[in-house]
Amino acid sequence: MVKLIDGWQVARTLNAQTQVRVARLRKQAIVPGLAVVLVGHDQASERYVRMKEKKAQSLGIYSVLKQLPADSTQEDVLQTVTALNQDPRITAILVQAPLPPQLDATQVFGAIDPAKDVDGFHPENVGKLYLNLPGHYPVACTPRGIMTLLAANQVPLQGANVVVLGKSAIVGKPLAALLLNAGATVAVLHSQTKERRSFLSAADVVISAVGQAHLLTDADFQPHTIVIDVGQNLDENGRLVGDVDYSEAAVNIEQITPVPGGVGPMTIATLMQQTVEMSEWSK
């Protein structure tokens, strides 16, 4: 029997903790403030942004949406970011990706004050993570959420063989850094990898962040593998599925995050966690 790793449950617990922390700050007249910058009308982005706003408000976080037209100039976006950097009510800034093609995303993300960079995308925060520096700094929310999920399910990482599929700057690479910092042996596989078998056959934990339905099946894993599925794909029938096909009869997968209901809820819960932490850190 495959055990499902329940992301909703861990996210609920985390959100409850965040709510308590917000209340504690509010007693000291400190209100965490999250600003989301949305450029254009990408449907998925609009949906995510609404979810983030709603969740923030429900936890007592002050929330602002800065919506800019799709044809905004670099100047427009940078001015918005600069104004938010200087706004004392805002402690956390998130620029929703992807940005329209006329914009230089690197420059936009780099313009966010590192102390308000709630997504952990600023080079300075990325560098601190890779250097495993002590002290407080934000980390990309999906990878951090995955680490919380693994910890909540008592998955041992020290000395474990972990395979990460995907080398994006948002998931694969920061995840590899977090796992190395936790003492795991880490192999990062991606679209140019010539064969996955030798890696998967030695893996204790496999984290797939490729975004391709039917990429892996139970037969690809060794017995007792723990699988974290970061994929969010629409299959042939328009159903939301992850990267991994499995059934209750799977013999190799020991635990897996379902899609939906696994990693997804953890990303937003971690964003909220980090929003309140950034308020605490800047006290």
- Indicate the annotated binding residues for NADP(+): 166-168
**Beta-carbon contacts of residue 100 (< 8 Å; ≥ 6 apart):** 39, 40, 70, 71, 72
3-state secondary structure 47-64: HHHHHHHHHHHHCCCEEE
Looking at the DSSP bridge assignments, the partners of residue 217 are 245
- Residue 157 C-beta: closest distance to a copy of itself, Å: 10
**Beta-carbon contacts of residue 67 (< 8 Å; ≥ 6 apart):** 38
- Residue 223 C-beta: closest distance to a copy of itself, Å: 15
The region of 7-15, 41-49, 81-89, 195-203 touching a copy of itself under the rule CB under 8 A is: 195-203
Q: Are 192 and 220 in contact (CB under 8 A)?
A: no
Cβ distance to a copy of itself smaller for residue 157 or 272: 157
Q: How would you list the strands of the sheet with 92-95, edge to edge?
A: 62-68, 33-39, 92-95
Query: Pick the catalytic residue: 55, 116, 117, 119?
Result: 119
Q: Could you give the string, one character per residue 96-125, with x where binding to a copy of itself holds by CB under 8 A and - elsewhere?
A: ----------x--------------xxxxx
- Residue 121 C-beta: closest distance to a copy of itself, Å: 8
What is the pairing mode between strands 225-229 and 244-245? unpaired
Select from 28, 43, 192, 237 the one that contacts a copy of itself (CB under 8 A): 192
CA atoms of 237 and 226, how far apart (whole Å): 27
Q: Is 69 in the site for a copy of itself (CB under 8 A)?
A: no
Total residues binding a copy of itself (CB under 8 A): 40
The region of 19-27, 69-77, 126-134, 232-240 touching a copy of itself under the rule CB under 8 A is: 126-134
CA atoms of 10 and 153, how far apart (whole Å): 9
CA distance between the termini of the chain: 48
Told to judge if 55 belongs to the known catalytic residues of this protein, a careful annotator would answer no
Q: Is 186 in the site for a copy of itself (CB under 8 A)?
A: yes
Q: Is 177 in the site for a copy of itself (CB under 8 A)?
A: yes
Told to judge if 119 belongs to the known catalytic residues of this protein, a careful annotator would answer yes
Return residues touching a copy of itself (CB under 8 A): 106, 121-128, 130-134, 158-159, 161, 167, 169, 173-174, 176-177, 180, 183-190, 192-195, 198-199, 201-202
